Amino acid sequence: MLVPWRGFWNPRSKAPGQEEERHVKANDRDYNERFTYADNHIKTAKYTFYTFLPINLFEQFQRFANAYFLVLLILQLIPEISSLSWFTTIVPLVLVLTITAVKDATDDYFRHKSDQQVNTRQSQVLIKGKIQKEKWMNVRVGDIIKLENNQFVAADVLLLSSSEPYGLCYIETAELDGETNLKVRQALTVTSDLGADVAKLADFNGEVVCEPPNNKLDKFIGTLYWKDNKYSLDNEKMLLRGCMLRNTEWCFGMVIFAGLQTKLMQNCGRTKFKRTSIDRLMNTLVLWIFGFLICMGIILAIGNTIWEQRVGRNFWAYLLWDELLSSAVFSGFLTFWSYIIILNTVVPISLYVSVEVLRLGHSYFINWDRKMYYSRKDTPAEARTTTLNEELGQVEFIFSDKTGTLTQNIMVFSKCSINGNTYGDVYDEFGHKVDITEKTPCVDFSFNPLMDRKFRFHDSSLVEAIKLEEPLVQEFFRLLALCHTVMPEERSEGQSWPLVYQAQSPDEGALVTAARNFGFVFRARTPETITLYEMGQPVTYQLLAILDFNNVRKRMSVIVRNPKGQLKLYSKGADTIIFDRLEPANEELMYTTSEHLNEFAGEGLRTLALAYKDLDEDMFDEWMKKLLFASAALENREERLGALYEEVEQGLMLLGATAIEDKLQEGVPETISCLTLANIKIWVLTGDKLETAMNIGYSCNMLRDDMNEVFIISSHTMLEVQQELKERFSSSQDVGKTDMYASDSVFEETIIAECALIINGHSLAHALEADLEQILLDVACLCKTVICCRVTPLQKAQVVELVKRHKRAVTLAIGDGANDVSMIKTAHIGVGISGQEGMQAVLASDYSFAQFRYLQRLLLVHGRWSYHRMCNFLCYFFYKNFAFTLVHFWFGFLCGFSAQTVYDQWFITLFNIVYTSLPVLAMGVFDQDVNEQYSLRYPNLYRPGQLNLLFNKRKFFTCTLQGVCTSFILFFIPYGAFLCAVRDDGSHISDQQSFAVTIATSLVIVVSVQIGLDTNYWTAVNHFFIWGSLAVYFAILFAMNSDGIFRIFPSQFPFVGTARNALNQKSVWLVILLTTVVCIMPVVAMRFLKTDLHPTQTDKVRLLQQATRRQGPQEQNLRRVRRTSSRRSAYAFAHQQGYGELITSGKNMKVHTSSTSAVPSSSPGRTHSINCNTLRSHTTCSSFQHYNLGHCMF
Amino acid sequence: MKSEGEFVNQPDNTAFTQQRLPAWQPMLSAGIVIPLFTLIGLAFIGIGVALFITSQNIKVQELDYTGTATSSPCFQCSGLSIQNCTCERNFSLSELFEGPVFFYYGLSNYYQNYRQYGVSKDDYQLSGDTTYFLKPQSYCSPYQYSNNKPIVPCGSIANSMFNDTFRLYLLVNGSRKQVPFDGKGIAWWTDYNIKYRNPSPVNGSFAAAFDGTTKPVNWQKSAYELDPTDQANNGFLNQDFLVWMRRAALPNFRKLYGRITGGDYSQGLPAGNYTLQISYNYPVLSFGGTKKVVFSNVSWMGGKNQFLGIAYLVIGSLCVVMAIVMLIVYAKYKFPDNDDA
């Protein structure tokens, strides 16, 4: 029965990395365990309780800086070269390690929690002939599991049987590919016969041989061997992890792939540790500084060697140190290490930890922002990663998902044109068009007891027309009620909406619902009939044929016989298609309608044209025969049917057109135009169809009619794609050239303003290959708008990766579904839309919030501020450390290069972590160069971040140079003054310790003044920290130099009394004052002259802001630009082929033994709707109810 | 509307969380910067003038007595092997050297700031901890033990203590009249009272506390008998020792030897001819150093210091010049305020 040799001779299948074929035997864990297949346990956490410390420390010491300080610490323990006590390094090091470890531990804790939540979801597994509850993580490959309605599928399973007839089963794959329409899966007939019989299922011992784990969501190849028979398996029989079971009471499946090997997880891409460009720059700079440090060490070591030979040797002879000191060269060698130790503070150890603290602070500000809080779903914004904030201020490319991100995925019947009259606009008493808002009064549909209460329509003239029984208006709605593939579901009495539609596309749902409210209620269907309630009267039509939709036809028709016996064909479809098939007499109406369609399309609505035709009985009979014949044909069936459909769909009578609004999320066009002004390029990557994507492109203002060209690339072969791309490239360059001659504006800018590129998934697959990717990128970057449609999750990631790799620009990906996960993970910054059904995108994201429009605030306010703060912070930090440390370098020349420190060791220990850390942190957390209103009002303030202007290598040189100069001044002014200084009581003051205190005090004052200059926004906290740091410095100085502490630790605090004796001297204060002024005034002068001669955008806005501060913030006047242009939209339906057949064959209709009223109250559909009503807001609920296919009443 | 309870996740509306903290937002505008520069410039010029004049009024008399030149009276003493050599330097004052006059000795090319030199002492010893008398810390090496006896005070700094002594005579009518140096209180109060402590006397004898130890190699006398005239000026609290132990920051330094305040000289050194008798013990020629003595008086700003006054004048002038430059630039290139950004 089985094929016993499998699994024995094929050793490769045991190596998990090289699995070539997968063998899974149902209900046979022992067999399956021979292969090392992944179990269903998912682990994203890094540590466990016991491994945390070693692993975390190991990771931390992999960081260059930490390892460096560890080495330094070891060096300091060698007495020959130890120029500084070990505590100067260990105190900051331990502090840094602790803070980082605590942060890592918290992060990992949350990962553990989320893992556990997923792993402990309940599933029902068939074990030893019984269905038992098991956690997800305990599900194994080969297990048979039972799934129930509205449950997530736990692993990739082969569908065996289901509650529905023919082994059908409905799933929603939104988590996988973002498409929210229902998909049908059908089990093999042999297995669907197993039904829910547990005993039979337990005896099922088929073996599946299939492809190894991969990430192709739409492909599966395998074979089932059972009872000596072979059955081929394809994707139509698979339920993938992440799908949700819909409208199916239960189903049984056999686990093929589990856990990390499921297609969903394989598609997730590997979690990469994301680092910002500033991080990378920082690492480079730290390396440079390290090199600089070694150079200084070498210079000083050489100096030491020379000094030893010239001077030191005699001095040692004099001191009788001969036996102690060896050769000058060896002394130089030791000096090198000693100087590495004392100059180590140029590599700022507290840098990394301070940066982390800043980012954490910025993340909290994002979490706390009420303007990014969505009250309707009670969802605040969340910074899930705390390491990327400043990169939010540098974004150049945004990759956005469409469904759920830009759009709400709600279709609303908003306008229509019937027989040359438009309906749907609201006019005020002066005849002006009124913008429709929440407050606009709705039409009262109370005349209709079967209405859907959530349906809103604002133009009452259409209802009047209906009430006047205008025949064409009636025909219009009759068409909408008849020509579709929607399934109705009648609920038992007492429900608020007894009638619920389950549509496979939200568009159809919207149209049928509109017809319902206007009095043409679609109530029931059988394979042969459709029952309407026309203005309250039941009318049953005979359904003779459904001329189904497909992508080529772009239309669908039904042929019905009405109660009067007339044969009618009702057709709806893309306007161009319908218009081609009209009766010539319709021409005038066609022009009017066409105008209306343009108007609708101009508003970004999805349009459809409707037409009907009276059929002649004889002709129809003949046609029907041909149809039956054709549908039985084995060859070219599709083509023959198509030709027949074409034949009958001629000479149509135009009825009108509908316009459906694919509701955008709030504020999307405004956000997009604002981000565009900030010079951010927005690419839409969607799994949706070309037409839908374009439609949204138009309604979001990303595509406009005044664009020079909209390139559409939808070829299927590599060569074609290549050719098309090349053509586009040259033509777009031509556009650019002509424009360049026309105006002297920047070359690229003009081009960008003109073109748009739309590319579909097939072409993209070719274009992303190595030969073509460069030209694709070139073309795409010349275009202002890029839309990629029909792309797979992995392609989304590839596109992001392409831009990331070649453009050296910061990319941001935003999406809401599991299909966006890979893109979110690939981009520099991933943003998830939270508050939706699935959490996958949010869990993978770095930032999450509820509405697309918050992106504007995230980037232009938080991102810009973060970047500004981080850059200022870094500049200051490097400046500070150079100023602090290089004093030792200068002193080296005067102390025989002996690595004598200038400062007290305690000062060295505390300088970075106590005296100067808080003011710069306060600046880094609170600073605002321009307030939020102005940041949003002038999006071009975002430009410096993209150009990387505020912190780059040049800036780094400037600020380190400033640090070097400061250290020079800090050393040589006191040097000049102390050459022959004495106190005013004649005793000496030019001793080492007074010198140290003077320089240290000057240094602290200079860097405090400098941070004061760098702080643009002095909050109380800044005041407190800056003044506080100075106070703390003096307090600690006097405390450490005090008698008391000396008496306790005489050898640790040798500076006793120095502060007192030095700082009561006027001359010392004069030196400090002079040093401070000399260090600071040039900076002030430079900055003033710079803002005066070359003001940056920021300077201008700051000045403006200061000038207008008294007037209070002004209202932002970024308004939605009404597009006056027109465009023809295609048949932009989220439609699928094949539903017509399901209906006419009656496959998807349940045969109820009882009557209508006896629909079991516990039916899953109903359960769903109850959940739906209680848990979700009404709007989302309705959209989900459309999917409740499968329960149909007769 | 939804009830309050549904907004559980709503962030707090505080100035802090919403980043609306009231703040002072200074800008470097012309109205601040130019007056600031002018003000600082003028103030600095004022201070500079005051410092310069004060410094000019301070009198300094320096005498080098290294004896490198053969003509120098101390040449005879500069040889390495010569012991107990005395030489004299004569000088004359044409007018009263206003008091109080301070007498310094100065060394050059002497690296008291060398790291290994600087650590070569035992702080525990010096704070009077007798357990370290017998077991000095290793920092003191090579002056930790001498002939297997612990050295107290150990280390290079103590060992290399300056040991030239000076006597100043005023020639009055051909006879020498000694001008007394007051060596009391020349060290810092904190050094004398807190930082350094003598060991407690053993059985009433101060010297007994040093039992079992030996004096530093270069010293002629033990620590407890440095000043036979004053019992309190011995051990680690000897003023000259304290002054020496406060290491100089730079290789050229001067240290206070004594004040001239006593009796007839409270007003200063009167005009006349003086002889400085030097007992020349301290060898500096071997490492190319020089020795000198300095007579100086002080002002409110301490000793004579031309550097500060000149620096203040220069910086003050630069600030004023800068203010003028900025004023011109501002007037000429002032960017329009109402430039809509």
Instruction: Of A245-249, A620-624, A933-937, give the lowest mean pLDDT range.
Output: A245-249
Per-residue DSSP letter, A309 = I
CA pair distance A84, A336, nearest whole angstrom = 14
Q: Is A686 annotated as a binding residue?
A: yes
Determine the distance in angstroms separating the CA of A1090 from the nearest CA of chain B, rounded to an integer.
11
pLDDT tops 50 at residue A2: no
Closest partner residue to A1101 (CB to CB) among B18, B116, B341 is B341
pLDDT tops 90 at residue A310: no
Closest partner residue to B111 (CB to CB) among A379, A896, A1102 is A896
Q: Which residues pair with A683 in a beta bridge?
A: A399, A786
Determine the distance in angstroms separating the CA of B173 from the nearest CA of chain A, rounded to an integer.
31
Quick: pLDDT tens for A1140-1168. 777 777 666 654 433 333 333 333 333 33
Determine the distance in angstroms separating the CA of A1093 from the nearest CA of chain B, rounded to an integer.
6
- Chain A residues whose CB is inside 8 A of the B296 CB are 982, 986
Active site (catalytic) residues of A: 401
A988, A997, A1084, A1087: which to substitute to probe chain B, counting the most B Cβ within 10 Å? A988
**SS3 label, residue A68:** helix
pLDDT at residue A577, rounded to an integer: 84
pLDDT tops 50 at residue A27: yes
pLDDT tops 60 at residue A1048: yes
Residue B108, phi then psi, degrees to nearest 5: -125, 160
A895, A902, A1023, A1079: which to substitute to probe chain B, counting the most B Cβ within 10 Å? A895
Please, which pLDDT band fits residue A175 given cuts at 50, 70 and 90? low
Cβ(B232)–Cβ(B244) below 8 Å: no
Q: What are the E-state strand segments in A149-188?
A: 156-162, 168-172, 182-186
- Chain A residues whose CB is inside 8 A of the B25 CB are 928, 1016-1018, 1106
Judged by CB atoms closer than 8 Å, whether chains meet at B303 and A986 is answered as yes
CA pair distance A638, A623, nearest whole angstrom = 16
Instruction: Average the pLDDT over A412-420 and give the result.
Output: 88
Q: Which of A650, A658, A652 lies closest to A593 in space, CA to CA?
A: A658
Q: Is A275 annotated as a binding residue?
A: no
CA pair distance A659, A595, nearest whole angstrom = 13
pLDDT tops 60 at residue A185: yes
pLDDT at residue A1107, rounded to an integer: 80
A1056 at B interface, C-beta within 8 A: yes
Cβ(A548)–Cβ(A483) below 8 Å: no
Instruction: Average the pLDDT over A547-555 and give the result.
Output: 80
pLDDT at residue A179, rounded to an integer: 60
CA pair distance A665, A401, nearest whole angstrom = 12
Which class for A1016: exposed (0-12), middle (13-18), buried (19 or more C-beta within 10 A)? Answer: buried
CA pair distance A751, B206, nearest whole angstrom = 96
Mind giving me the DSSP string for A487-508?
A: EEEEPPTT-SS-EEEE-SSHHH
Complex ipTM:
0.94
The percentage of chain A sitting over the pLDDT mark of 70, rounded to a whole number, equals 87
Continuous H helices in A252-348:
263-267, 277-307, 313-319, 328-342
Judged by CB atoms closer than 8 Å, whether chains meet at B256 and A986 is answered as yes
Which class for B207: exposed (0-12), middle (13-18), buried (19 or more C-beta within 10 A)? Answer: middle
Closest partner residue to A898 (CB to CB) among B116, B243, B253 is B116
pLDDT tops 80 at residue A13: no
pLDDT tops 50 at residue A16: no
Instruction: Of A710-719, A726-735, A800-809, A958-967, give the lowest mean pLDDT range.
Output: A726-735
Determine the distance in angstroms separating the CA of A787 from the nearest CA of chain B, rounded to an integer.
32
A1043 at B interface, C-beta within 8 A: yes
Most confident of A383-397, A507-521, A959-973, A1036-1050: A959-973
Where b means 16+ CB within 10 Å and e means fewer, A640-670 reads: bbbebbeebbeebbbbbbbbbbbbbbebbbb
pLDDT at residue A885, rounded to an integer: 93
Q: Is A403 annotated as a binding residue?
A: yes
pLDDT at residue A296, rounded to an integer: 94
pLDDT tops 90 at residue A1069: yes
Instruction: Average the pLDDT over A28-33 and give the result.
Output: 83
Instruction: Average the pLDDT over A989-1015 and give the result.
Output: 93
Quick: pLDDT tens for B288-313. 889 999 999 888 888 888 899 999 99
CA pair distance A131, A127, nearest whole angstrom = 6
The residue that leads in pLDDT, A151 or A175, is A151
Residue in chain B lying closest to A998 (CA): B249
Taking the C-alpha atoms of A121, A124, A125 and A127 in order, what is their torsion angle to the nearest 10 degrees?
120
Mean pLDDT for all residues in chain A? 81
Instruction: Of A7-21, A552-566, B6-20, B77-91, give the lowest mean pLDDT range.
Output: A7-21
User: Roughly how many angstroms between the first and final C-alpha of chain A, as a whole number?
Assistant: 45
pLDDT at residue A999, rounded to an integer: 95
pLDDT tops 80 at residue A1114: no
CA pair distance A450, A197, nearest whole angstrom = 41
Please, which pLDDT band fits residue A438 given cuts at 50, 70 and 90? low
Q: Which residues pair with A653 in a beta bridge?
A: A612
Please, which pLDDT band fits residue A740 given cuts at 50, 70 and 90? very low
pTM metric for this prediction: 0.82
pLDDT tops 70 at residue A65: yes
| A 1106-1145 → B contacts, CB under 8 A | 1106-1107
pLDDT at residue A1007, rounded to an integer: 95
CA pair distance A560, A575, nearest whole angstrom = 22
pLDDT tops 70 at residue A1187: no
pLDDT tops 70 at residue A180: no
The residue that leads in pLDDT, A1170 or A181, is A181
Peptide bond preceding B142: is omega within 30 degrees of 0, i.e. cis? Answer: yes
Cβ(A1058)–Cβ(A993) below 8 Å: yes
Q: Count the neighbouring beta carbons within 10 Å of the beta carbon of residue A739.
A: 17
Quick: pLDDT tens for A613-651. 998 888 889 988 888 888 877 778 778 888 888 888 888
pLDDT tops 50 at residue A742: no
Q: Is A402 annotated as a binding residue?
A: yes
pLDDT at residue A231, rounded to an integer: 85
The percentage of chain B sitting over the pLDDT mark of 70, rounded to a whole number, equals 95
CA pair distance A475, A477, nearest whole angstrom = 5
Most confident of A198-212, A356-370, A840-854, A1046-1060: A356-370
A928 at B interface, C-beta within 8 A: yes
Instruction: Average the pLDDT over B316-340 and give the result.
Output: 80
Please, which pLDDT band fits residue A690 given cuts at 50, 70 and 90? confident
Judged by CB atoms closer than 8 Å, whether chains meet at A987 and B188 is answered as yes
Q: Which of B61, B57, B119 lies closest to B247 in space, CA to CA?
A: B119
Peptide bond preceding B100: is omega within 30 degrees of 0, i.e. cis? Answer: yes
Closest partner residue to B303 (CB to CB) among A982, A991, A1078 is A982
| A 881-900 → B contacts, CB under 8 A | 894-896, 898-900
Quick: pLDDT tens for A321-346. 765 566 788 888 989 999 999 898 88
A1045 at B interface, C-beta within 8 A: no
pLDDT at residue A1175, rounded to an integer: 33
Judged by CB atoms closer than 8 Å, whether chains meet at A314 and B298 is answered as no
Closest partner residue to B300 (CB to CB) among A314, A379, A984 is A984
Cβ(B109)–Cβ(B266) below 8 Å: no
Q: Which of A29, A44, A7 lies closest to A821 in space, CA to CA?
A: A44
Closest partner residue to A896 (CB to CB) among B26, B114, B256 is B114
Closest partner residue to B315 (CB to CB) among A996, A1074, A1093 is A1074
Instruction: Average the pLDDT over A707-721 and give the result.
Output: 79
Judged by CB atoms closer than 8 Å, whether chains meet at B9 and A380 is answered as yes
Judged by CB atoms closer than 8 Å, whether chains meet at A981 and B303 is answered as yes
A1097 at B interface, C-beta within 8 A: yes
Determine the distance in angstroms separating the CA of B278 from the nearest CA of chain A, rounded to an integer.
21
Instruction: Of A564-573, A742-751, A878-887, B258-267, give the lowest mean pLDDT range.
Output: A742-751
pLDDT tops 90 at residue A1125: no
pLDDT tops 60 at residue A1124: no
- Chain B residues whose CB is inside 8 A of the A1096 CB are none
pLDDT tops 80 at residue A1126: no
pLDDT at residue A1013, rounded to an integer: 93
Please, which pLDDT band fits residue B80 given cuts at 50, 70 and 90? low
Peptide bond preceding A165: is omega within 30 degrees of 0, i.e. cis? Answer: no
CA pair distance A335, A351, nearest whole angstrom = 26
**SS3 label, residue A543:** strand
pLDDT tops 80 at residue A1192: no
Sign of torsion, CA A838 A841 A846 A848? Answer: negative
pLDDT at residue B335, rounded to an integer: 54
Cβ(A3)–Cβ(A225) below 8 Å: yes
CA pair distance A711, A780, nearest whole angstrom = 10
Tokens 């050393």 locate to A971
Judged by CB atoms closer than 8 Å, whether chains meet at B307 and A898 is answered as no
pLDDT at residue A837, rounded to an integer: 60
Q: Count the neighbouring beta carbons within 10 Å of the beta carbon of residue A34.
A: 14
pLDDT at residue A741, rounded to an integer: 43
Judged by CB atoms closer than 8 Å, whether chains meet at B319 and A1077 is answered as yes
CA pair distance B134, B202, nearest whole angstrom = 15
Q: Which of A70, A150, A29 lies closest to A1172 in space, CA to CA?
A: A150
Mean pLDDT for all residues in chain B? 87
Q: Which of A179, A174, A268 lies closest to A790 in space, CA to CA?
A: A179
CA pair distance A589, A478, nearest whole angstrom = 20
Q: How far lies A117's CA from each of A370, A919, B182, in Å?
A: 29, 42, 85
Q: How far lies A325's CA from each of A104, A337, B79, B140, B288, in Å?
A: 48, 16, 25, 14, 19
Instruction: Average the pLDDT over A843-856 and give the result.
Output: 89
Half-sphere exposure of A852 (CA within 13 A, CB side): 30
Residues 6+ apart with CB under 8 A from A211: A21, A22, A220, A221, A222
Q: Is A790 annotated as a binding residue?
A: yes
CA pair distance A171, A240, nearest whole angstrom = 9
Q: How far lies A1036's CA from each of A936, A1041, A1053, B91, in Å?
A: 44, 8, 12, 49
Q: Is A401 annotated as a binding residue?
A: yes
Judged by CB atoms closer than 8 Å, whether chains meet at B288 and A311 is answered as yes
pLDDT tops 70 at residue A7: no
pLDDT tops 50 at residue A819: yes
| A 227-286 → B contacts, CB under 8 A | none
Half-sphere exposure of B120 (CA within 13 A, CB side): 24
Determine the distance in angstroms separating the CA of B205 from the nearest CA of chain A, rounded to an integer.
25
CA pair distance A652, A611, nearest whole angstrom = 6
Lay out the sheet containing A182-186: strands in order across.
Answer: A182-186, A168-172, A244-246
Judged by CB atoms closer than 8 Å, whether chains meet at B302 and A989 is answered as yes
